[in-house]
């Protein structure tokens, strides 16, 4: 039995900075943020120059694994596949530094920062991006495969595609259901092909995918709500989990897409074999909140998410015409300033749902809470300690009930650039003073997490607030009853 991994996570664009150093070329995020004069990640947490200090802090903080991603634009600098030796050397140093400190590197190959030279060719709407991605994988497996045991092909394809192609709040910033379906499909195809390559290259570690997991709950147990829950589950989860783990897309999802006017002619005949034969070794789940669903009633599709925090609290609204509505205003629920519900029980039930449906090893690859914090003072983040405690408790309970969970990663290792939410939304165990050369200062939660890691979870207090309202998909699978909302 391998040891449970206690770690934390980051992503290249969100923490590295050094956006044009040592041969790195722009990603679609650099271009989008610069062109629109939005807060960017040019410097971010400056991990590029602070990685030794950060890895030392992980080690001193008791952590045994670090999940990070590779900036594609740093390692391959044009569409012809030219390798940048300085980019490779940087990740070599990061990996070496982890190993020296007994920290297991967990590498995400793609965490949203597509090189702009590929975006200009159509990005994930172009089948040839799958080949470019495979070329990247080949280089990474070849250079780092002997040192890295844990690989994730993609981070949150659902979040990336929906934000970039459906909601339009992330680059390439379009609102188009057809493009959403097409980009999603190509990413999942790329996932299967990367797994095929990994095995062909006789790599000896494990390869999986990281999913933005939203366990689905319904407002009542009417048949309309159950149908809306199923459609929402397909929309939020199953189009990633089913092909990745089972090698097939849900039939009712494809039917629903066709009846919603989506042209699926981008699917080629030979693809289904590739999906079937190349499924993941494990699933990575990023958990922030559950999703509460009611049947669709009327009106056009509305997709407003809160990227502004306090000033827009309560403004989130999601209605997908003819599919479902999502609720953000439950009477007794607790929400962050960004409208994210705090609901640890959703992680417990969500893990068991995945376990019962797919029976697969699980890593909780991200979990954390984003808040405003003033780094001029010591950060006594008791709210984060409570949040992490209750979520880790949920994981430990799910393990007791049979789920094969093998690791947990706090999001994030240190404060970083939170995409459209900027740097003011802080998630780190370690504070970063963005106005003072990105100096680091551990928060209270960092010391608390050290005790959790050192005690292998014995430090965790049992969460008092188990009971959940709303009909969970887990209870539907099991034929049990939950309390109505
Ligand atoms: C998921 C993403 O993987 C990460 O990039 C993001 O910053 C966090 N969630 C927090 O929203």
Report CA-CA distances (Å) from 387 to 130, 345, 368, 377, 464. Answer: 38, 11, 7, 21, 12
Contact 450, 193 (CB under 8 A): no
Cβ 411 under 6 angstroms from ligand 1: yes
Across the strands, what pairs with 206? 150
Identify the residue whose C-alpha is closest to ligand 1 atom 11.
Answer: 418
- Please identify every residue annotated as catalytic: 156, 366
Report the Cα–Cα distance between both ends of the chain, in Å, rounded: 41
Of 395, 423, 394, 397, the closest CA to residue 407 belongs to 395
Q: What is the pLDDT of residue 458?
A: 96
Nearest protein Cα to ligand 1, atom 6 = 418
Residue nearest to atom 10 of ligand 1 (CA): 418
Tens digit of each residue's pLDDT (9 = 90 or more) over 259-293: 999 999 999 999 999 999 999 999 999 999 999 99
DSSP 409-440: EEE-SB----GGGTTTSB--SEEEETTTTTEE
pTM for this entry: 0.97
Whether residue 156 has its Cβ less than 6 Å from ligand 1: yes
Nearest ligand 1 atom to alpha carbon 368: 10
Task: Please tell me the distance between residue 417's alpha carbon and the centre of ligand 1 in angstroms.
Answer: 10
- The ligand 1 atom nearest the CA atom of 156: 3
**Residue of 156, 157, 365, 371 best suited for mutating to test ligand 1, as the one with most atoms within 8 Å of CB:** 156
Report the separation in Å between the CA atom of 420 and the middle of ligand 1, taken as the mean of its atom positions.
11
pLDDT at 466 (0 to 100) = 62
Residue-wise pLDDT tens digits, 111-125: 999 999 999 999 999
Mean of the per-residue pLDDT values of the chain: 96
Contact indicator for 427, 446 with CB cutoff of 8 Å? no
Choose among 251, 118, 252: nearest CA to 187: 118
From CA 447, how far away is CA 439, in angstroms rounded?
18
Out of 8, 9, 11, give the residue to mutate to test ligand 1, the one with the largest number of ligand atoms within 8 Å of its CB: 11
How long a stretch of residues is the chain?
A: 485
* pLDDT at res. 479: 79
Question: How remote is the CA of residue 377 from the centroid of ligand 1, in Å?
Answer: 25
Which of the 8 DSSP states describes residue 301? -
Average pLDDT over residues 173-201: 98
User: What's the Rg (C-alpha) of the chain?
Assistant: 21
- Listed in sequence order, the residues at least 6 apart from 231 whose beta carbon sits closer than 8 Å to its beta carbon are 256, 323, 324
User: Looking at the predicted structure, is the pLDDT value of residue 414 above 70?
Assistant: yes
The tally of CA atoms less than 13 A away on the side-chain side of residue 236 is: 28
Pick the atom of ligand 1 nearest to 419's CA: 7
Q: Is 421 in the pocket of ligand 1 (CB under 6 A)?
A: no
């Amino acid at each position: 039995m391998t040891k449970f991994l206690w770690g934390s996570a980051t992503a290249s664009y969100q923490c590295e900075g050094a956006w044009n150093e040592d041969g790195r070329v722009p990603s679609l995020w650099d271009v989008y943020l610069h062109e629109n004069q939005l807060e960017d990640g040019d410097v971010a947490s400056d991990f590029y120059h602070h990685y030794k200090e950060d890895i030392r802090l992980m080690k001193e903080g008791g952590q045994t694994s670090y999940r990070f991603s590779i900036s594609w634009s740093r390692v391959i600098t044009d569409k012809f596949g030219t390798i940048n030796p300085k980019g490779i050397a940087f990740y070599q140093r990061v990996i070496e530094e982890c190993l020296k400190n007994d920290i297991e590197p967990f590498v995400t190959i793609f965490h949203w920062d597509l090189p702009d030279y590929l975006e200009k060719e159509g990005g994930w709407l172009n089948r040839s991006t799958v080949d470019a991605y495979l070329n990247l994988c080949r280089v990474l497996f070849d250079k780092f495969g002997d040192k890295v045991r844990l690989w994730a092909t993609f981070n949150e394809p659902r979040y990336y595609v929906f934000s970039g192609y459906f909601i339009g709040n992330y680059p390439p910033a379009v609102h188009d259901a057809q493009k959403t379906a097409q980009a999603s499909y190509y990413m999942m195809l790329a996932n299967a092909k990367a797994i095929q390559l990994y095995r062909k290259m006789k790599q000896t570690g494990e390869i999986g995918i990281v999913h933005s997991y939203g366990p689905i709950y319904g407002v009542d147990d009417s048949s309309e709500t159950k149908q809306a829950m199923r459609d929402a589950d397909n929309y939020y989860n199953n189009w990633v989990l089913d092909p990745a783990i089972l090698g097939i897309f849900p039939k009712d999802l494809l039917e629903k897409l066709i009846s919603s006017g989506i042209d699926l002619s981008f699917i080629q005949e030979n693809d289904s074999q590739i999906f079937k034969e190349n499924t993941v070794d494990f699933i990575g789940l990023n958990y922030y909140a559950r999703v509460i669903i009611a049947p669709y009633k009327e009106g056009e599709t509305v997709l407003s998410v809160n990227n502004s925090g306090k000033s827009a609290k309560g403004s989130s609204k999601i209605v997908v015409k003819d599919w479902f509505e999502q609720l953000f205003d439950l009477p007794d629920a607790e929400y962050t300033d960004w409208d994210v519900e705090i609901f640890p029980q959703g992680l417990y039930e969500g893990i068991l749902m995945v376990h019962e449906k797919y029976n697969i090893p699980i890593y909780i690859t991200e979990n954390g809470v984003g808040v405003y914090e003033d780094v001029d003072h010591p950060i006594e983040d008791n709210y984060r300690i409570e949040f992490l405690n209750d979520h880790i408790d949920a994981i430990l309970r799910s393990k007791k009930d049979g789920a094969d969970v093998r690791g947990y990663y706090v999001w994030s290792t240190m404060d970083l650039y939170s995409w459209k939410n900027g740097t003011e939304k802080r998630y780190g165990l370690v504070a970063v003073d963005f106005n003072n050369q990105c100096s680091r200062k551990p928060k209270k939660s960092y010391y608390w997490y050290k005790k959790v890691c050192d005690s292998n979870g014995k430090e965790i207090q049992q969460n008092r607030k188990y009971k959940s309202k709303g009909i969970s998909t887990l209870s539907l699978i099991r034929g049990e009853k939950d309390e109505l909302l």
